Amino acid sequence: MITSELQNKVTQNVIAQMETHGTNWLKSWVGDSRMPINCETKKPYSGINLFILLGEEMTSHEWGTYKAWSRVGKQIRKGEKATTIVFFKSLEHKTDVDTQGNPIKIPMMKCYYVFNESQTQDYEVAPVVGGSDFSHVLADTWVKNTGANVEHLHARAFYNPNSDHINMPPMKTFFATDDANAEQNYYGTLFHELTHWTGHESRCDRNLKGKSDRKAYAFEELVAELGACFQSVHFGIEPVETNADHAKYLNSWMQALKDDNKFIFQASAKANKAITFLNELQ
């Protein structure tokens, strides 16, 4: 599958989720909150590959190439269709250099074709208990290790780039939903604000102009929601429902997706960079 075809497929999948599930599109997509992992290395997939694989809605969270499954002793059933994922890397130009004399880096995208464990012979569906392994102690440690300034002074959640601090409502003000308890919903919201926190110029340096630049603000909100989703899956909880402030950007996101099939790739790349930054602080 060529790049444009893959971008179109992923974009249409995201649009369909948004149209069907509205502001809960991430929650419905994530499902049982299990991170897709490689069948050999057991490492989780990230970035746009997370959404490509979650969008396939398979019963197993393990994936691998045909050869990878063969190496772990499993055979892909005849006639099964592979799913295309991508990996990005930079190649240095042989002659062109930048203003500092360093070789110009050219971004390259390579496609790989993977199969889900449910496509292997003799596969049996394993019982799934979503979110039961959540640990607030691990989440607290993870948040503390970031060094972010988190206060509980106001009744709403936000990140202020001018003062470089996060405000969270007290945990007691959060309530349980069908998929998560109050504690889990608190951390799901905090993950969203921590993703915003990474956008500061001293960290990942994203455009945090705020509501004065509506397009940039909507894009940043999407990055934060994707980042919260990545970390919610990592900690074994459902992404929290988007609130009214985020809901009004849904149409903006859908229009941007329709106008540019690279939009979701760009947003997920920013979110993945943010989460990588946070993880490197651990």
Q: Output the tens digit of pLDDT for each of the chain's 282 residues.
A: 557 888 898 899 889 888 988 878 887 666 555 779 999 999 989 888 987 888 888 889 999 999 999 999 999 999 999 999 988 777 777 778 788 878 887 777 788 999 999 999 999 987 655 445 678 889 999 999 999 999 999 999 999 999 999 999 999 998 887 777 888 889 989 999 999 999 999 999 999 977 677 778 889 989 998 998 888 878 877 666 555 555 677 888 999 899 999 899 999 999 999 999 999 999
Residue 24 and residue 17 in contact, taking contact as beta carbons nearer than 8 Å: no
Q: Is residue 222 part of a domain?
A: yes
Pair (205, 237) in one structural domain: yes
Q: Is residue 193 part of a domain?
A: yes
Structural domains of the chain, count = 2
Which of 119, 148, 166 finishes a domain? 119
Question: What domain range is 70 assigned to?
Answer: 35-119
Q: Is residue 21 part of a domain?
A: no
**What is the pLDDT of the chain when averaged over all its residues?**
86
Cβ atoms within 10 Å, residue 28? 15
Q: Is residue 146 part of a domain?
A: yes
Q: Where are the alpha helices (DSSP H) in 118-181?
A: 136-146
Pair (144, 272) in one structural domain: yes
Pair (162, 276) in one structural domain: yes
Pair (88, 145) in one structural domain: no
Pair (111, 206) in one structural domain: no
pLDDT of res. 131: 46
Dihedral sign for Cα 153, 159, 162, 165, please: positive
Q: Is residue 90 part of a domain?
A: yes
| Gap between the Cα atoms of 53 and 36, Å rounded | 7
Pair (61, 114) in one structural domain: yes
Sorted by sequence, the CB contacts under 8 Å of residue 223 that are 6+ apart come out as 195, 199, 206, 267, 270, 271, 274
Pair (270, 168) in one structural domain: yes
Dihedral sign for Cα 241, 247, 249, 253, please: positive
